[in-house]
Amino acid sequence: MITAWVYILLCSDGTYYVGCTTDLDTRIAQHHLGTYHGYTAARRPVQLVWLADFPDVFQAIEIERQLKGWSRKKKEALIRGDFELIHLLAQSKEMRARLGQRAKRITGPGQV
């Protein structure tokens, strides 16, 4: 079984790049050297800020695609390991607004 990694790089322009590979050391070196053509080549230097390994390359590809669709706030919460915030951000804006109103009713105005 081949281990695969999903990773997030912080680019020099402040953007995030999400990638997937079965050869982590080589791929990160390619990003650093600019030999991995594409998004990161013009945004060096890059910094590895998050990494997870998966026993199945297909699972890693699925996670990579999911993360690419996430907002910047969700990616930053993942990088920090703030799973509670990820859960909150995954909810609709309407649901977050309702939860905020509920919290205000429970704690009182200005005490959220």
pLDDT tens for 51-100 read: 999 999 999 999 999 999 999 999 999 999 999 999 998 887 777 677 67
Greater confidence, 32 or 103?
32
Residues 49 and 77 placed together within one structural domain of the fold: no
Residues 13 and 54 placed together within one structural domain of the fold: yes
Residues 34 and 65 placed together within one structural domain of the fold: yes
Residues 56 and 85 placed together within one structural domain of the fold: no
Q: Is residue 56 part of a domain?
A: yes
Instruction: Quote the pLDDT of residue 111.
Output: 58
Residues 12 and 48 placed together within one structural domain of the fold: yes
Residues 78 and 42 placed together within one structural domain of the fold: no
How many structural domains comprise the chain? 2
Q: Is residue 6 part of a domain?
A: yes
Q: pLDDT for 22-46, tens place per residue?
A: 999 999 999 999 998 899 999 999 9
Q: Is residue 112 part of a domain?
A: no
Residues 2 and 57 placed together within one structural domain of the fold: yes
**Dihedral in degrees, nearest 10, Cα atoms 38, 50, 52, 2:** 30
Instruction: Quote the pLDDT of residue 6.
Output: 98
- The residue segments making up the domain with residue 46 are 1-69
| Helix then strand then coil, % of the chain, to nearest 5 | 50, 20, 30
